[in-house]
Amino acid sequence: MNVLFIAVDDIRPELNCYGANDMQTPNIDQLASNGVLFTQAYIQQSICMASRASVMTGIRPQKKGLFTGESVQKLTPNAITLNKLFEANNYNIAAYGKIYHHAIDHTEQFGDRHQDPQEKWVGRGYLTDESIEQMYFNEAHPLKGRQSENRGPAFESADVPDSAYIDGYNTELALRKLKDFKAESKPFFMAVGFHKPHLPFAAPKKYWDIYPLEDISMPEITTIPENSTRYTLRDWGELRNYYGIPKSKTPIGIDTTLLLRQGYFACVSYVDAQIGKILQQLKDLELDQNTIIVLWGDHGYKLGDYGYWCKWSNMNIDTRIPLIINSPDGQKNEKCTAVVEALDIYPTLAELCGLQVPEQVEGKSLVSLLNHPHPELDQYAYSIWPHDRGEYDKTIMGYAVKDKRFNYIEWVKLNTGEVLAKELYDHDKDPMETRNVVDDLKYIDDVSLLSEKCKIQKENTDHEYTVKETQKVID
């Protein structure tokens, strides 16, 4: 079996196949109809570097300091990564776009079989003269105390073909590579990582035109959760670095909020169109019947939800991701409600292709769920968020455990083990997580059970890395 591994940056599961109607995603929807869609899939940390490192190594981010901002090559030099596993088993491998977070990892993992020529673009991929001018003359706008190199406006709409932006360009490279693979006798593992809808929200104008501004709605919830803790949500400096976005803790106005949401929606539809081209190429080359396809997002995203932006929390809006697995021999048009982790992608692909899973891998294979997607099991997913705000102790870790009903979080001072705060969200009654009910006595048994599950993750944290490296968390 061949493998097509599709990673999408910053995509929340607000897709038609997930029951939402804000965005048009016909190609992702079609992929879901030909496979199994996981409704409760969670990333292990809601930040690019750590989530990707965890998926590609099969190791939880609190192990080996994978969340600290260092490269996979430096932190886990002996790990057999997912792509290396396939390469060692006589697969042709190739990668386009963003698979790992750090350039050194792309070089070490793929060598010249990785392409992502970002140097062809100005700054963060800008095309218009106005955006480029704003990028060079934005001294008044950076977040205080930080540099904003290559940051112009937070959104751009250029009247250009798809391939003018990097995701479309990389898609063209991937289409050509599939033709090469067709001529080979060996199976292939091809990874395609889309940069969008990551900031800046830049996409060809025709995708912006899908979403008239007057049709864009404000977020459903715009206030912080009731009884939230001082650690629950983190300020969104990532967005504040862009031109025209207010500094410090100043909120974003309604007009800018709507523009940003419009841009995000446009980027998702742009990525969806590129995915459609790749899926069509597989079909045209008659590779679709022996190719496993997995599509996943590296974390969720806030678009003004709770009055916040970007990711960086243990809330479900940041940790819940789209995950779709399409296996030619698997079930079709099924939704699996089991609680699963992105960490499970590695052993799942290995089992589907008959490869031995390395000892370092901590996830569990989902193959049984692909064959029988309606389990009655009690399953759990875990995520972390290292609280790195300068005004608080940098050794505080947020541990979250999620099951079909709850999201439970403990904020722990690692050097003492003291639990500083707790959160519990009941999705049966409050799917948007608007109220922390951890102090409600009717949940006392649930808190006790989930706390025990949480304890396992706390005990498995590598303190050697964690305590001294938390401040290095980057995006």
pLDDT digits (tens, 9 = 90+) for 438-449: 999 999 999 999
Whether residues 409 and 459 share a domain: the answer is yes
Q: DSSP states of 9-75 as a string?
A: TT--S-SGGGT--SS--HHHHHHHHTSEEEEEEE-SSSSHHHHHHHHHHT--TTTTTTTSS--HHHH
**pLDDT value at residue 246:** 85
Handedness of CA 287, 291, 297, 298 (dihedral sign): negative
Place 205 in a pLDDT band, splitting at 50, 70 and 90: very high
Q: pLDDT tens, 323-341?
A: 999 999 889 999 999 999 9
454 in active site: no
**pLDDT value at residue 201:** 98
Whether residues 412 and 271 share a domain: the answer is no
- Map tokens 């999705």 to a residue: 427
pLDDT surpassing 90 at residue 390: no
Q: pLDDT tens, 137-157?
A: 655 544 444 446 678 899 999
Q: DSSP states of 170-187 as a string?
A: HHHHHHHHHHHHHH-SS-
17 in active site: no
**pLDDT value at residue 443:** 98
Asked whether residue 9 is domain-assigned, the answer is: yes
Question: For residue 364, which amino acid is it?
Answer: K
Give CA–CA dist 163/55, Å, rounded. Answer: 28
Helical packing angle, 166-183 and 254-284, nearest 10°: 10
Q: Which phi and psi angles does 172 have, rounded to 5°?
A: -60, -40
CATH number for the domain harbouring residue 396: 3.30.1120.10
Domain that holds residue 414: 381-472
Whether residues 7 and 101 share a domain: the answer is yes
- Map tokens 């009731």 to a residue: 226
Helical packing angle, 48-57 and 345-352, nearest 10°: 30
**pLDDT value at residue 32:** 98
Whether residues 357 and 385 share a domain: the answer is no
DSSP H/E element including 322 = strand 320-326
Whether residues 193 and 148 share a domain: the answer is yes
Total domains in the chain come to 2
Q: Which of these three, 321, 341, 366, is where a domain ends?
A: 366
Q: Which of these three, 366, 393, 411, is where a domain ends?
A: 366
Give the SS3 label for residue 94. strand
Say if residues 9 and 298 touch (Cβ distance below 8 Å): yes
Q: pLDDT tens, 251-260?
A: 899 999 999 9
Q: DSSP states of 397-461 as a string?
A: EEEEEE-SSEEEEEEEETTTTEEEEEEEEETTT-TT--B--TT-GGGHHHHHHHHHHHHHHHHT-
Asked whether residue 376 is domain-assigned, the answer is: no
Q: DSSP states of 211-222 as a string?
A: S-GGG----S--
Whether residues 307 and 391 share a domain: the answer is no
> Which pTM does this prediction carry?
0.94
In this prediction, residues 58-80 reach a mean pLDDT of: 87
Q: Which of these three, 317, 338, 366, is where a domain ends?
A: 366
Whether residues 413 and 331 share a domain: the answer is no
Q: Is 234 exposed, middle or buried (0-12, 13-18, 19+ CB in 10 A)?
A: buried
**Catalytic hit among 101, 195, 198, 299:** 101
